[in-house]
Amino acid sequence: MFYPLAGAAVQEDFQVAFGLPEDVHAAIEQQQRLAQQLHDGQHLKALSFVLVEETLRLDSEFERLFHRTFQTTVEPVDLTDDIPSALAVNSFYQRANTEIEDFIGEGDVFSLPPCHKLMLFSGVSVLTPLAIRFNPADTALELFQFINAPTQRVSTMHTTAFVRRCLHNELRCKVVDMPFDAASGLSMLVLLPYDGTELRQIVNSITPAHLAQIDERLQSCWTDLKLPKFFVREKTDPKQTLGKLGYGGVFEIDDLHVFHDSGRTRLNGFIQHCYLAVSESGSGIPAPPDTPSEFEFHANRPFMFLIRRTMDGNVLQVGNFSKYIDPDEQF
């Protein structure tokens, strides 16, 4: 999104990290196609929102790209005042019916340095059910080993499903690929650490090369599947992660042409919020009675999940289910 507005230094970061073409117009067309494919408003909502300092005049090229080409909402606010800044963001995502509540608090804005001028927010909500049917009658309270609480009993779904699965001994985890409703073009890759392996070991070490290996090894078979009913509303500041992946320059170098006659600037803040709910509302066909299973996948301990496009494996959302939240505090 910021690629066309960047100078040579940051453009090079983006080219390497995302494989973007040097031709800026080709990159813009690529971004437009991706946005149209991702955000259908029914199965997935992926919305960006930008806050800019109201005392600065926006560059005409920035306005054209964000308002017309990318159709991104840009709102000028007094970024030194945390209350209206937070209200602007939260109101936008509430009006869009993303299931994301309180995207940011006042402190998320107030904690930034006083020189900030530009903030980006990204909200991704998966709103489609799994294409695997779990019978509610088979859901039972079973033990789950949370990382922040003693072992708790949670509602755990159970079925036999024909899914793609594999083992990845280098990462030390079991993997299943669970499709969402076919019309969504999405699936959920679930990585369950082996006994004795901590989730953080996988989160800290997984790479695109590992995902490519998983895709090569996945094979379909009847699987005895147990998965907790869960939902995730997760807010993250991905600046550190993006820096590790090689494109942190957008946060470190004054290289973006956003404002008129005020020199170049950088992206001062980037906050991402994800929503996902998994329950028995799947749309798949139940397995025939007494179907023998060849593989067992019982998620009774913290696991990582990646929401991906089935057509190309591109990752749209990453998260994990690991921390216990008291039911009275979930909403």
Identify whether residues 255 and 200 lie together within a single domain: no
Identify whether residues 255 and 169 lie together within a single domain: no
pLDDT at 115: 62
Identify whether residues 241 and 113 lie together within a single domain: yes
- pLDDT tens sequence across 204-234: 888 888 999 999 999 999 999 999 998 887 7
Identify whether residues 189 and 315 lie together within a single domain: yes
Residue type at 176 in one-letter notation: V
Enclosing domain of residue 149: 136-227+281-329
Q: Which residue has the tokens 């985890």?
A: 173
pTM attached to this predicted model? 0.78
3-state secondary structure the chain: CCHHHECHHHHHHHHHHHCCCCCHHHHHHHHHHHHHHHCCCCCEEEEEEEEEECCCCECHHHHHHHHHHCCCEEEEECCCCHHHHHHHHHHHHHHCCCCCCCCCCHHHHHCCCCCCCEEEEEEEEECCCECCCCCHHHCEEEEECCCCCCCEEEEEEEEEEEEEEEEECCCCEEEEEEEECHHHCEEEEEEEECCCCCHHHHHHHCCHHHHHHHHHHCEEEEEEEEEECEEEEEEECCHHHHHHCCCCHHHHCCCECCECCCCCECCCEEEEEEEEEECCCCCCCCCCCCCCCCEEEECCCCEEEEEEECCCCCEEEEEEECCCCCHHHCC
Identify whether residues 25 and 123 lie together within a single domain: yes
pLDDT at 220: 95
Question: What is the distance between the alpha carbons of residues 241 and 236, in angstroms, rounded to a whole number?
Answer: 10
Identify whether residues 212 and 290 lie together within a single domain: yes
pLDDT at 331: 42
Identify whether residues 215 and 299 lie together within a single domain: yes
Identify whether residues 27 and 63 lie together within a single domain: yes
Q: Which residue has the tokens 């820096």?
A: 243
Q: Which residue has the tokens 């903030």?
A: 119
Identify whether residues 174 and 75 lie together within a single domain: no
Identify whether residues 216 and 80 lie together within a single domain: no
* Count of domains observed in the chain: 2
pLDDT at 111: 64
Per the DSSP assignment, residues forming a β-bridge with 256 are 6, 265
- pLDDT tens sequence across 246-277: 666 778 888 888 998 778 888 888 888 888 88
Q: What angle do CA 316, 321, 324 make, to 5 degrees?
A: 145
Domain at 319, CATH number: 2.30.39.10
pLDDT at 50: 92
Mean pLDDT, consecutive 10-residue stretches, the chain (331 aa), reads 86 78 87 74 86 91 87 89 88 90 74 73 89 93 92 94 96 96 92 95 89 96 94 76 66 86 83 87 69 89 93 86 73 42
φ/ψ of residue 2, rounded to 5: -90, -5
Domain at 271, CATH number: 3.30.497.10
